[in-house]
Amino acid sequence: MVGVSFETWSEIKRKPMNMGNAMVLNAYVAKFEDNKYVHINSASVGDTVYIIVETIGLTGKKIEVNLLDRDGILDGKNFSVVDLLQDDKDTQGLLTAIVDKQGKAIYKVKLQPSSDKKDIENWGNKINKTKDKKIYTCLLVDADKHNPGVNITYTGRNAKDHENDSRKSSKTNYWLDENGKWFELKKKTPVIVIDPGHGDNNSKNSVYDPGAGSGKEYEKDYALIISKAIKNELEKEHFTVYMTREADINVDPKGPLNWRYEFANKKKGDIFISVHLNSGTDNNVFSVYQQGKGNETQSKNLAKEIMEKLRPIVTVPDNNIRQVKGYTRFSTLSVLNNFKGEAGILMEFGGIDSSANQQNIKGNKDKIGKAVKDGVITYLEKKV
């Protein structure tokens, strides 16, 4: 959506300017990273982005911007104004800003209709029902509305699709990417927190938690192997993924497990996956516990989809999803019932004492990671 159509911005700047005129040179969507604005081509519902409009001769002037929905996915009208975006400055849905001394008008915008979760989910569901699960938008820049009498030239790039749109402006104030591409709005992808079991210690109290063990083989290490593989696969699909630990770590917790679910809740996780192994030699028999405090249905559905995808790799008995109600004798399961997100599960990848299971995990970690990722994706697709 960064576009200059008929001439490049550098070419325009080299030309002598008529100082009696004003120009809107460029408009694009960006994220703020490393103390600078970085152009982006897509974002998700709920994301906070910045719309940047670059101008000449308009310092101190007010400019209005908005997104145009090409196919009318959100309200049924082609090239409709997406006028429900939340601006950090305006409360009436109008995206306006004053051009600064550098010639830029900057808008901090939340790509959502309101703060209501149902409204946000409604947008996401509409997007997810499209063929490629995204909608196409461009920027509409209006500097004339708030500055009557000022002669303003726009150098934006119109979409060819706008040729039959009666509202098309001859001033070319519809902005596309410089290559004629649309800015893509996608459904919000969930934040996923993976919790490799054990591997934490408290040096103040000399407490160390390796989990179940067999000789020099410990649950903490295999849980980390599996968790890293899952994270790697999920990130290939552009999910936001956090891990409670990526190595053995020293923590000073309020309790032996609190730091895990507190981390997940602080990251505003939607899905929580805790990875463990059993003690004993039950080979590679897989089992899963689901959250049982408030999110039973979603957690069970997540567990079922992941189980099905894992069947070719590990032994998955029937009817082995166990619902956690309250605090059972398995104290580790409190991580599920204190997680505040959408769905939480705890998976047990067989017995640590089985050498066959150890080799299966090491040799098939990538397949395991992909299976879990596929299960998550199937769960999300069916949830729509």
Start-to-end CA span in the chain (Å): 29
Q: How far does CA 298 lie from the centroid of its chain? A: 19
- Tokens 């990671």 -> residue: 369
Measured from the Cβ of residue 145, the count of other Cβ atoms closer than 10 Å reads 11
The first and second tokens of residue 41, run together, are 């081509």
Three-state secondary structure call for residue 272:
strand
Place of tokens 């104004």: 81
Tokens 């700047």 belong to residue: 13
The pLDDT of residue 317 is: 59
For residue 165, what pLDDT is reported?
46
CA 379 centroid distance within chain: 16
Angle at 130 between CA 303 and CA 181, to 5 degrees: 120
**What are the backbone angles phi and psi of residue 64, rounded to the nearest 5°?**
-110, 140
CA distance 327 to 124: 35
Question: How much is the pLDDT for 16?
Answer: 43
Q: Which residues contact 357 (CB under 8 A, 6 or more apart)?
A: 277, 283, 284, 349, 350, 351
The percent helix, strand, coil of the chain (3-state, each to 5) is 25, 30, 45
Q: Which pLDDT value is given to residue 2?
A: 40
Q: Where would I find the H helices in the chain?
A: 9-14, 117-128, 219-236, 258-266, 296-310, 334-337, 355-363, 365-383
* Cβ proximity of 230 and 275 under 8 Å: yes
CB 277 within 8 A of CB 228: no
Question: How high is the pLDDT of residue 231?
Answer: 97
For residue 223, the tally of other CB atoms under 10 A from its CB is 28
Residues 6 or more apart in contact with residue 279 via CB below 8 angstroms: 212, 219, 351, 352, 353
Give the contacts of 307 (CB within 8 A, at least 6 positions apart): 286, 288, 316, 320, 321, 375
Tell which residue, 292, 280, 45, has the closest CA to residue 186: 45
Sheet hosting strand 321-323, strand order edge to edge: 240-243, 191-196, 271-278, 343-351, 286-290, 321-323
Contacts of 158 (CB under 8 A, 6+ apart): 5, 168, 172, 174, 176
pLDDT at 19: 44
Task: Collect the ranges in the chain with pLDDT lower than 70.
Answer: 1-20, 87-93, 158-172, 253-256, 282-286, 291-294, 316-332, 384
Whole-angstrom distance, CA of residue 197 vs CA of residue 117: 31
